[in-house]
Structure 1
Amino acid sequence: MMNLFNDSPKRSGYAFPPEWAQHEATWLSWPHKEASWPGKLETIYTPYCQFIKAVAEGEKVRININNEETRAFAVSELEKVGADLSNIEFYFNATNDAWCRDHGPAFLLSADGKDKAVVDWGYNAWGGKYPPFDLDDVVPTKIASHFNLQLYTPDIVMEGGSVEFNGAGTILTTTACLLNENRNPHLSKSEIEQYLLEYYGAEQVLWLGDGIVGDDTDGHIDDITRFVNENTVLTVVESNPLDENYILLQENLNALKEMRLPNGEALNIIKLPMPSPVIHEDTRLPASYANFYIANKVVVVPTFRDVNDSIALEIIQQAFPDRAVIGIDSTDIIWGLGSFHCLSQQEPAIQ
């Protein structure tokens, strides 16, 4: 195992920056798969483009598209919401689906902030649930090649939504996802930790348990607990003891209270409410305010036409006093079983 990591990003001085670090761009993969939003694909483009518009006010937005026809459609949809097209770029990297957090590149920065690298993890559509995924799996390598960036290719499955970073050596994840036998059944927990530490340039991995009900990723961290600075997390809790999320979120809250950072410090924990259950066609959807995206100038939060929307927005605004917190209706987008964080991947700026 040691020889395997001799040339790892960590040993070459690279690390994965926190999401609130300065971005050069945000990467997206334009939604086109009807099966991800059955009967609703056409309804998601307005909120999706509102998201792009908000992010593009402070950084470039780089969008993977399949062909020229898709590009023309995307431009027309973006024009409808008044997005700044001068800050939006299109790349002909064909995709199977839209979830760029999971199939997009993991961008690393060197210790001096002057060099960038890409990790292309293996991608199998959350344990082989939604084939085909061959196009998505090679997107990071295509992007690294286009920009002539150092490329690392660990031969294991990993998704961006399954890991959360504080930018100071700590990774937060869940056992429900990373230890699921549909990902890397040949690896032990300690072996998976070693991959995370070496390829993300971190010092420790902290483990929570289950993700929320309705999450088809087997429990991604970005629906439950998010770092907002080096020692503070926002974590969702359910107020209704009869709700099926109540116990598992209490268990995660209790686990967070026991965790310690490398310096021995406890986490500063801020509770975030859950929206009322969002049901569509008798299916409970993984609606969560934790699936927000931190851009250079804004934090975009999914909202659900719920009484807790305004409460969640206020809590998140207090956590990000230097950014405008914007709620965008995600009621249709969540039918795809993810929201703004799942759809996006940040590219850090060179210092």
Structure 2
Amino acid sequence: MTTACPVAEWARHEAVWIGFPSHPELWLDDLAPARAEVVAFASAVHAHGHGEKVLLVAADGEAASAATRLAPFAEIVVEPFGDIWLRDTGPILLPRKRAGGFAFNGWGGKYDLPGDDTIARRLAEGRGRHFAAHHWVLEGGAIDGDGTGTVITTEQCLLNPNRNPGMSKAEIESLLASDLGFTRVVWLGEGLLNDHTDGHVDNLARFVGEGRVAIPEAAENDPNWQVYQHARRDAEASGLEVVTIPSPGRVLRDDEIVPASYMNFYIGNAAVVVPVYGAANDDAAVAAVQALFPTRKAVGLRADSILTGGGSFHCISQQIPG
């Protein structure tokens, strides 16, 4: 039987898992503000009951108590994990109540945290999904599909020797087909500068319709201007329609360039939540996303503290299709 590919993110969701910051030793002074940003994101997705059910995933009792207090609208799920990046460590949901899980090696051996390699199975089986374990390394943020069988990814990540050493492009395409049902792989090149995920595509390019992909338009003094140019070239050469969203440009934290991106938005039932950073293009980016999703409300929310951990709203969430 041919595996049916994941539905597009804009399809109806039954619920969404969102990771809740749970480990003070990882977040330090950013723990409380990161929790506040996560709760604001979860609230926007819930949309006073007009969006989808929010499942806040807490790693322990203390975090669960804090989540209950801060987000009374959410259902709290207590499952041990290393950190909140459930897009990468959680299951990938498939049609017919199935879920796929993949080997996880801490983004190429960078962050080996207890629980991250088993959270996918525990979450999937907790929602009554038939779970299939696949024994090659793949993070959910490394791929983005349009629901028709087409998936985009970056060579920097999926061909990185710190993931599946020795595996060829053809072999990875074959596994994406057999395990997730993707029939066409569009390869982009590099991801954002200083992205410790080694170029996850959900910071660079996102499907916003069937065969239609959004890519940033470089801002002045943008450290990723060539990355965006090359991504657009590759996407258009593959026959995809490209639309652009402004880039936040050069965003610094402690004098270091960080991989801030408006592309890490989450497409919910009622809202599309866009991370913003106090950059000049924040409002323009939210307006551009609103134009792409006219039946949903585009909401811009600050994600500065979450970004200290390396990601944003899309990275901490994993939707459950309805």
Q: Which has the larger radius of gyration?
A: 1
> What is the 5 A alignment of 1:190-339?
190-240=170-220, 242-260=221-239, 267-339=240-312
Is 1:135 matched with 2:118?
Answer: no
Residue type of the alignment partner of 1:30: F
Distance 1:37 1:285, change over 3 A: farther
User: Is 2:140 the partner of 1:160?
Assistant: yes
**Aligned-residue offset at 1:178:** 0.4
Question: Tell me, what secondary structure is at the counterpart of 1:15?
Answer: coil
TM superposition shift of 1:14:
2.9
Letter in 1 for 2:158: L
SS of 2:263's equivalent in the other structure is coil
**Equivalent residue, structure 2, for 1:169:** 149
Distance 2:223 2:249 in 1: 12
CA distance 1:15–1:47, shift in 2 (3 Å):
same
Structure-1 residue corresponding to 2:76: 90
Which whole-Å CA distance do the structure 1 matches of 2:226 and 2:2 have between them? 42
The aligned residue for residue 117 of structure 1 is 98
Contact 1:163 1:222 in 2 (8 A): yes
Unaligned runs of at least 5 residues, structure 2: none
Q: CA deviation at 1:45?
A: 1.6
- TM-superposition CA deviations, 1:15-71 (whole Å, max 9, x none): 211100100111122112345544322211222101011111211111222223221
Equivalent residue number for residue 35 of structure 2: 45
Q: What amino acid sits opposite 2:111 in the alignment?
A: Y
SS of the residue aligned with 1:315?
helix
Q: Is the 8 A contact 1:214 1:337 kept in 2?
A: no
Contact 2:219 2:249 in 1 (8 A): no
Q: In structure 2, give the amino acid aligned to 1:258.
A: A
Whether the 8 Å CA contact 1:27–1:61 is kept in 2: the answer is yes
Q: Distance in 1 between matches of 2:195 and 2:24?
A: 19
Runs of 4+ in 1 over 6 A off after TM superposition: none
3-state DSSP of counterpart to 1:137: coil
Unaligned 5+ runs, structure 1 = 1-10, 80-84, 110-114, 261-266
- For residues 123-168 of structure 1, give each alpha carbon's deviation from its aligned partner in whole angstroms, at most 9, with x where no partner exists: 1110010122x40111111123223321111100100100010101
Asked whether the 8 Å contact 1:29–1:95 carries over to 2, the reply is: no
Identity within the alignment, %:
37
**Stretch moving more, 199-208 or 275-284:** 275-284
1:289 deviation in Å?
0.5
CA distance in 2, matches of 1:233, 1:35: 38
- Whether contact under 8 Å (2:202, 2:263) holds in the other structure is yes
TM-score normalised by structure 1 residue count: 0.87
**CA separation in 2, counterparts of 1:323 and 1:96?**
33
Q: Name the CA distance, whole Å, in 1 between partners of 2:228 and 2:26.
A: 27
What CA distance in whole angstroms lies between the structure 2 residues aligned with 1:63 and 1:29? 6
TM-score in terms of structure 2 length: 0.95
Q: Which amino acid aligns with 2:152?
A: L
